[in-house]
Amino acid sequence: MAAKTKENYIYAIGRRKESSARVHLKAASEETGVIKVNGKELTEYFPMATTQMVINQPFVVTENEGKFDLRVTVAGGGKSGQAGAVRLGIARALEKQDPELRAVLKKAGLLSRDSRAVERKKPGRHKARKKPQFSKR
């Protein structure tokens, strides 16, 4: 039985809304810039161009497009929240890989977690803020 070689991955976690993403970043080998999300290609898992653009943003800002292979596991929430979680995870992994990229990523606002989440429903309301119809008479 052949011995498994331990790959040199950089690991980071990103979160957004109810989504959580675990990102494994590795310097690209012969397969350049492959992004696998939950075992699928990026374009297969995130078919919308806007979510793909959100995910690739850290690479565009740091001018590292196609230089890294990614293996991402993402769970919870919807596709938009998942894309935001993956973006934060990639930005954190890039910062770990090269600390000099921190200033560029920070200026672009990619290192801060977006803490916005859905507001809870209140009693006596239809939704978080929508009130029942008011009748004067």
Quick one: pLDDT at residue 6?
57
Domains contained in the chain, number:
1
Is the residue at 127 inside a domain? no
Is the residue at 83 inside a domain? yes
Is the residue at 42 inside a domain? yes
Is the residue at 133 inside a domain? no
- 104: closest CA among 63, 59, 62? 62
C-alpha 3/C-alpha 87 separation (Å) is: 34
Mean pLDDT score of the chain, rounded to an integer? 90
Q: What is the pLDDT of residues 90-100, one digit of tens each?
A: 999 999 999 99
Is the residue at 68 inside a domain? yes
Quick one: pLDDT at residue 27?
81
Q: What is the pLDDT of residues 35-70, one digit of tens each?
A: 999 999 999 999 999 999 999 999 999 998 888 899
Q: Is the pLDDT of residue 2 over 60?
A: no
State which residues form the domain around 84. Answer: 10-107
CATH code of residue 62: 3.30.230.10
More confident residue, 79 or 9: 79
Is the residue at 130 inside a domain? no
- DSSP string covering 2-54, please? PPPPPP--EEEEEEETTEEEEEEEEE--SSTT-EEETTEEHHHH--SHHHHHH
How does strand 19-27 pair with strand 35-37?
Answer: unpaired
Q: What is the mean pLDDT of residues 111-136?
A: 95
Q: What is the mean pLDDT of residues 72-89?
A: 95
Indicate the pLDDT class of residue 32, thresholds 50, 70 and 90: confident
